Amino acid sequence: MIGFGNPVLFVCVRGEKMFEDKNWEPEFCGRLEKCFDEMKWLYMELYGNNQQAFDYFLSMLHEYYAARTPELKEWDDARLIVPDWYRGNEMLGMLMYTKCFAGTLQGVRAHLGYLRECGVNYVHLMPLLESPEGRSDGGYAVADFRKVQPELGTMEDLAQLSSDCHSRGMAVCLDFVMNHTSEDHEWARRAKAGDPEYQARYFFFDNWNIPNEFEKTVPQVFPTTAPGNFTWCEEAQKVVMTTFYPYQWDLNYANPTVFNDMTANMLNLCNHGVDIIRLDAVPYIWKRLGTNCRNLPQVHTLVRIMRMAAEVVCPGTLLLGEVVMEPSKVVPYFGTVEKPECHMLYNVTTMASTWHTVATHDVRLLRHQLETVFSLPKQYIFLNYLRCHDDIGWGLDYSFLKQFGVEEVAHKKFLNDYFRGRYPGSMSRGELYNDDPRLGDARLCGTTASLCGIEEAEAEGDAEKLDRAIDLDVMLHAFLFAQSGIPVLYSGDEIGQLNDYTYHEDPLKRDDSRYLHRGKFSWEEARKRRSAKTREGRIFKALRKLEKIRMSHDVFDSQADTWIVETWNNSVLGIGRYYQGEKMIALFNFSDAPQTAWISEHEDYFDLLTRKKRPAKNVELPPCGFAWLMTVFKK
């Protein structure tokens, strides 16, 4: 979809809007009218009162509304009746690569029964749109937003999978790579050929003068594997902006054609049944010389307009923002109650702080991080996770840690040494990612199980070590499930899948250590999940028990009051939750030695796992152990 097309006729007189196009349905007009004033004001402010572009934008919205299937419109209606359908304690997500999990989209369809057995009702499929082999960054360099990677299937397969998921009460999430395209995208190919219209969709410069000015203020994302933010394009004999990798060309959202057509690409995914759109690298999408090109005000304008576009066309759709930054920069992407932006954001700082706590056995930073999260409005929904497709970056609150004598570079080295098993007493097995010895800023890769020590314990045949490693794995998931928001498992974690070192043998993958935890899902290991004698069975059974408890108690609802419980023990984290007459005290021992939570709650409590009475007083916890204690008040 290129250009602005034919403008849609409408009249705006004294604030009273009358849409004159006879083909516009009352439902569509009603939805549009609710947000029209704000949408037009934001669009015109951003794009210099470009009426033609705005007219095209509206006609495009109607086109995708009209193309939405009756089944999807029914899905929209159901969610409009219960708009907070994703905010409770029933949601459980799983993140997966289609090829690793089941080969193809049809393969995923065939294994939906397994996902339901896992309790999953939110399926996040990693990037699967067409991208060039060897230059895709794991699918994040999209060559065609309208085609699935041929080896995975077709857009029709995606629609069928989504339909099957909906019939089982499952939502589908897909990444929308909006900051850039592949250099193989049609727009990029035309830009290489010298077409000025398509060069205007990217950032092209005749020489290095302006790019060099950008480099003075714009940080590098991958300083070792892809240094700099610009690349020389030999075909065009110009410099092009490439924030991430040289084959990923940044889109120029100051050009309304880019925004219009990319929004159309997003809505096309929604019309193929995608319920949750993950906005990839959203803080980067607006560039301005003299800034760091991160989190600029125009980014929020664009996201707000996209939110309104979705509410008009496909109101059952959620926007998930990928904002991998500290809370002060993450929270603004929720927008406000009156003018919301993303429905959900990643709780990335809690994830990184959790692994820091595993290494240090000291909960003070994690407690400090959770206090920040607990103070936020309850309508803010976070996705909580232990591991995902990406590395672990040590973007911790070093200003807080400084009071304990922690120095940033030295601490990052300690954490990376610990999780590579190079620190005394560590059983972890991970690898560095994007190591920069000059800055000491390497990040870390590895599966949950391998980082918890299961890999080493099994390699040594040490049953005692294995017990402790599994206990740590389960405790971390218990902590995950005790947080407000939506817990998301990384495919394979439900059976404790280990690192996959075979990527070292693949010339297309061996330079990217993130493939360490992107291995093929082992269905052979999954078949062991029903045996309580196996690692797979022990973890699967434990997680399913925790998940069922979480779904059956209101206290896990995101609307619950939450607070930090003082345990008077720096190795034990305490969390309190209260909602609709249920009060929970959750305790987590991050030490590999027995610990006591020195608490004294006066109510009568019982253990949620055993259903037996258990006083919430001076609670003893085994190494890497936890307790979920509950009391119920009469209503």
Residue 61 and residue 262 in contact, taking contact as beta carbons nearer than 8 Å: no
Exposed / middle / buried, residue 146 (Cβ in 10 Å: 0-12, 13-18, 19+): middle
Place of tokens 């619950």: 560
420: nearest Cα among 408, 412, 428, 409:
428
State how far the Cα of 296 lies from the Cα of 293, in Å rounded to an integer: 7
Q: What is the 3-state secondary structure (H, E, C) of 506-518?
A: CCCCCCCHHHHHC
Exposed / middle / buried, residue 290 (Cβ in 10 Å: 0-12, 13-18, 19+): exposed
φ/ψ (deg, to 5) at 624: 55, 30
State how far the Cα of 33 lies from the Cα of 17, in Å rounded to an integer: 7
What type of residue sits at position 30?
G
- First-to-last alpha carbon distance for the chain, in angstroms, is 57
3-state secondary structure of 487: strand
3-state secondary structure of 174: strand
Catalytic positions, written as ranges: 280, 322
Pair of tokens at residue 337: 């109650």
Partner residues linked to 346 by β-bridges:
383
State how far the Cα of 74 lies from the Cα of 509, in Å rounded to an integer: 43
Partner residues linked to 318 by β-bridges:
276
Residue 248 and residue 182 in contact, taking contact as beta carbons nearer than 8 Å: yes
37: nearest Cα among 17, 51, 10, 20:
17
Pair of tokens at residue 93: 């997500």
Cα Dmax for the chain: 78
Contacts by 374-377 with C-beta closer than 8 Å and gap 24+?
A: 374/562, 374/563, 374/564, 376/327, 376/331, 377/337
Partner residues linked to 232 by β-bridges:
239
Exposed / middle / buried, residue 533 (Cβ in 10 Å: 0-12, 13-18, 19+): exposed
